[in-house]
Amino acid sequence: MNHNFQKDISGCGLVGIINRDGKRISGSFACNSLCLMNDRGNGLGAGYAAYGIYPEYKDLYAFHIMYDELGAKTDTEEYLKKNYHIEKKEPMPTASVPTIKIHPIIWRYFIKPLPEKAERELANLGDDDFVVHTVMKINSEIDGAYVFSSGKNMGAFKGVGMPIEIARFFRLEEYEGYIWTAHTRFPTNTPGWWGGAHPFTLLDWSIVHNGEISSYGINKRYLEMYGYKLTLLTDTEVVAYLFDLMVRKHGLDTATACTVLAAPFWKRIDDMPEDEKEAMTALRMVYGSALMNGPFSILFGHSKGLVGFNDRIKLRPLMAATKGKTVYMASEESAIREICPSPEKVWAPRAGEPVIVELEDSR
């Protein structure tokens, strides 16, 4: 547990799109929406996550990894080779963008952990747990290597630049996904590091987030007790790991996990019927250190859906809209209308009340 860290602070704008039929949408939509909110960022970070982009490899973990130098790549690949079956590896397809002069080396891998009996590390861990272990190991132990994303049939594309520049760099118009999350960033200083951009992902979780979590200190120490290594020192990382802990490890459903992060006030709990009061009281007692206190709006994507919510006294904006089977969420209504001019329904979710959208045919 290291207390001597410098936390990364930033503001931002965010966008989320999901088609509940699983119909895939081009990356340019997400980009166009995000670009309307350029004033919410400052060109020091933008990113996208998309689900459904690798149907041909949908049973493999898709690793997007950035390297500062080739040595880091060698070390990482050596580790992967020992522990994973590598179906395919290739440089990330990119385009030249004049304003992006320096960028890391980015590769992608379609892999799966070697079967349990093989000589891999920690053979008793399940595949998902082992992938988490791998991500923690690469990020914290291999200098100059950083995993952008590690889920199945999904991926994160992010870097230092304006939303349009990052979209062009990664040729996002060539990708189609049934869920998109996107983020433009306003860091208060210039880390200039591509890994620091949003979305933040782990397995198939992806998080984009707006606002500084004032309870970061205890959220971080709470997660560390459960073995998470917080290397990025961002609020977003905390959100992703909290979801991982509560949903994947503790088996809470998404709505309940959102309730933990933006818990109802005691005043409201005290007025609830006895059974619900008991449940909510226990939830706050047990998960008090996971309460995210301070301003935030968050979009949380996973392979089966998209969740948007904000803090319990609504210090950050979030709008939602529907048209047909598509649900949109964004920091500003205009960003939705930019790509969906006449939605059927537009609303501002209430403080702490999540908007949970799931695919109709959960695949």
Partner 1 sequence: MFKSLAVPEFLAKIDPVKCIRCKRCIQNCGWSVYSWGGDKVLIDTFKCVKCLRCYHYCPEEAITIEDNPVIYRNNANWGYNHIRNIKRQAETGGIPLTGMGSDLPYPILFDHLLIDACQVTNPSIDPLREPMELRTYLGKKPARLEFDKGPDGKLRLKTKMPPQIKLEMPFIFAPMSYGSISLNAQKTIAMAAKELGIVMNTGEGGLHEEIYPYRSNVIVQVASGRFGVNPDYLNAGVAVEIKIGQGAKPGIGGHLPGEKIPLDIAKTRMIPVGTDALSPAPQHDIYSIEDLRQLIYALKEATNYTKPVSVKIAAVHNVAAIASGIVRAGADIVYIDGFRGGTGAAPVIIRDHLGIPIEHAIAAVDDRLRQEGIRNEASIIAAGGIRSSADAAKAIALGADAVALGTSALITMGCTVCGKCYTGNCSWGITTQRPELTVRLDPEVYAERLINLIHAWSHELKEILGALGVNAIESLRGSRERLRGVGLDSQTLDILGVKPAGR
Catalytic residues: 12
Asked if residue 67 lies in contact with residue 105, where contact means CB atoms within 8 angstroms, the answer is yes
Q: How far apart are CA 349 and CA 335, in angstroms?
A: 16
Residues 100-159 that bind partner 1 (CB under 8 A): none
Q: How far apart are CA 280 and CA 291, in angstroms?
A: 13
Name the one residue in this structure whose structure tokens are 């996990």: 257
Choosing from 203, 280, 339, 355, the residue that interacts with partner 1 (CB under 8 A) is 280
Q: How far apart are CA 186 and CA 284, in angstroms?
A: 32
**CB nearer to partner 1: pick between 3 and 117:** 3
Residues 296-315 that bind partner 1 (CB under 8 A): 312-313, 315
Instruction: Return the closest-CA partner of residue 7 out of 205, 235, 159.
Output: 235
Per CB under 8 A, the segment of 7-15, 142-150, 301-309, 332-340 that binds partner 1 is 7-15
Choosing from 121, 224, 333, 353, the residue that interacts with partner 1 (CB under 8 A) is 224
Q: Give the phi and the psi of residue 295 in degrees, each rounded to 5.
A: -75, 130
Residues 180-209: x where in contact with partner 1 by CB under 8 A, - otherwise, as a string = --------x---------------------
In the complex, what is the shortest distance from the CB of residue 302 to partner 1, in angstroms, rounded to a whole number?
20
Q: Does 289 bind partner 1 (CB under 8 A)?
A: yes
Residues 312-341: x where in contact with partner 1 by CB under 8 A, - otherwise, as a string = xx-x--------------------------
In the complex, what is the shortest distance from the CB of residue 99 to partner 1, in angstroms, rounded to a whole number?
26
Q: Does 278 bind partner 1 (CB under 8 A)?
A: yes
Question: Which amino acid, 266?
Answer: W
46 beta partners? 159, 184
Q: Could you please report the per-residue DSSP string of 3-47?
A: -------EEEEEEEEEETT---EEHHHHHHHHHTTGGG--SS-EE
DSSP 123: T
Name the one residue in this structure whose structure tokens are 């047990």: 286
Residues 37-96 that bind partner 1 (CB under 8 A): none
Q: Does 211 bind partner 1 (CB under 8 A)?
A: yes
Largest CA distance in the chain: 62
Per CB under 8 A, the segment of 6-14, 43-51, 88-96, 134-142 that binds partner 1 is 6-14
The SS3 call for residue 209 is strand
Given CA atoms 32, 34, 36, 41 in this order, what sign does their dihedral have?
negative
Choosing from 57, 63, 287, 300, the residue that interacts with partner 1 (CB under 8 A) is 287
**CB nearer to partner 1: pick between 1 and 102:** 1
Residues 251-270: x where in contact with partner 1 by CB under 8 A, - otherwise, as a string = xx---x------x-xxx---
Q: Which H or E run includes 129?
A: helix 127-141
Q: Does 238 bind partner 1 (CB under 8 A)?
A: no
Choosing from 77, 212, 237, 338, the residue that interacts with partner 1 (CB under 8 A) is 212
Choosing from 100, 279, 346, 356, the residue that interacts with partner 1 (CB under 8 A) is 279
Q: Does 237 bind partner 1 (CB under 8 A)?
A: no
Q: How far apart are CA 306 and CA 255, in angstroms?
A: 11
Q: How far apart are CA 130 and CA 133, in angstroms?
A: 5
Could you list the residues that contact partner 1 (CB under 8 A)?
Answer: 1, 3-4, 6-7, 9, 11, 188, 211-218, 220-222, 224-226, 249-252, 256, 263, 265-267, 273, 275-276, 278-280, 282-289, 291, 293-295, 312-313, 315
